[in-house]
Amino acid sequence: MAQASLSVLVIEDNHALANQICRFLEGVGWCIDYAANGKEGLTLSEHYQFDVIVLDLNLPDIDGLQICEQIKTYQKRTTPVLMLTARDSYEDKAKGFAKGADDYLTKPFDLRELVLRCEALSRRPELHLDTKLEKGQMVLDTRAHQVTWAGTPIKLTNVSFQILHKLLLSYPYPVTRSDISLLLWGETPPESNALKSHMYNLRKALDAVTDSPKLHTISSVGYQLKDL
């Protein structure tokens, strides 16, 4: 079964193919964002955190290799990039890997294979994650299930801990409400304002020990940690 919480950005100018990919990936329970050109794709990749970016090599405005290089080099992101291309020669693939591509899938392809490759790519960063996640004066220890601010422990519920971990992994970028909801409840979120209540409790816990508000609501987007 596919991972329910995977967040994928699809950058593809072929609308028919893009629609097919997005519908299939949404069908396995993933959160999908879509860009029809390179400029829009770069904007989304800069402002939001994704588990995997599926990138077409041939785009009308910016070459896919340039987009991959910018994501990997200039934006300093570790998001895995899966290249979609009709170019299957060794030279073409070598250029892609040199620009930072993590994997290639040659068109036409089986959508089920796309799912498998995205899942494999999404696990790569986890292999190198320390149990301690440090951002500024905040330290979150996944093994000990503890959080401190400037050495002071922060008392959190299990749900608040999960949300904070998600926000820290994305820091300094925001996390959408839908991504947090998917993390907590999968495809069956409660009909109440449960998420708002959990965010209130997390904000209250952080405000109790930090020198200024750290958890911010981003209108029409979600939530973001700032000034850690």
User: Amino acid identity, residue 109?
Assistant: F
> 18 — phi, psi (to 5°)?
-60, -40
- Cα separation, 49 vs 179, in Å, equals 10
Helices then strands (H, E): number in the chain? 8, 12
* Spatial distance between the Cα atoms of 99 and 155, rounded to a whole number of angstroms: 43
Lowest mean pLDDT across 18-32, 69-83, 214-228? 69-83
Decide if 116 contacts 6 (C-beta within 8 A): no
Q: What's the pLDDT score for residue 128? A: 47
Q: For residue range 111-148, list pLDDT tens digits in order.
A: 999 999 999 888 776 554 557 888 999 999 887 889 99
* CATH fold for domain 7-126: Rossmann fold (3.40.50)
Residue labelled with tokens 């959160």:
31
Is the pLDDT higher at 84 or at 77?
A: 84
Spell out the residues 6+ positions from residue 52 whose beta carbon is closer than 8 angstroms to its own.
6, 7, 8, 9, 79, 80, 81, 82, 118, 121, 122
Question: Can you give the pLDDT at residue 77?
Answer: 59
CA distance 30 to 3: 7
Question: Mean pLDDT across the stretch 22-47?
Answer: 91
pLDDT average, residue stretch 90-104: 83
The second-level CATH assignment, the architecture, of 132-225 is Orthogonal Bundle (1.10)
Question: What is the tens place of the pLDDT at every residue in 163-179?
Answer: 999 999 889 899 999 88
DSSP per-residue codes, 186-204: TT---SSSHHHHHHHHHHH
Cβ contact 171:20 at 8 Å: no
- Of 213, 120, 223, 107, whose CA–CA distance to 169 is shortest? 223
pLDDT at 56: 93
pLDDT of residue 126: 55
Rg (CA), the chain: 19
Window from 26-30, 78-82, 194-198 with minimum mean pLDDT: 78-82
Domain with CATH 3.40.50.2300 in the chain: 7-126
pLDDT, the chain, mean: 87
Outline which parts of the chain fall under CATH 1.10.10.10.
Answer: 132-225
In one-letter notation, the amino acid at residue 228 is L
pLDDT at site 164: 95
Cα–Cα distances in angstroms (integers) from residue 8 to residues 48, 81, 158, in the given order: 11, 10, 26
Give 146's strand partners. 141
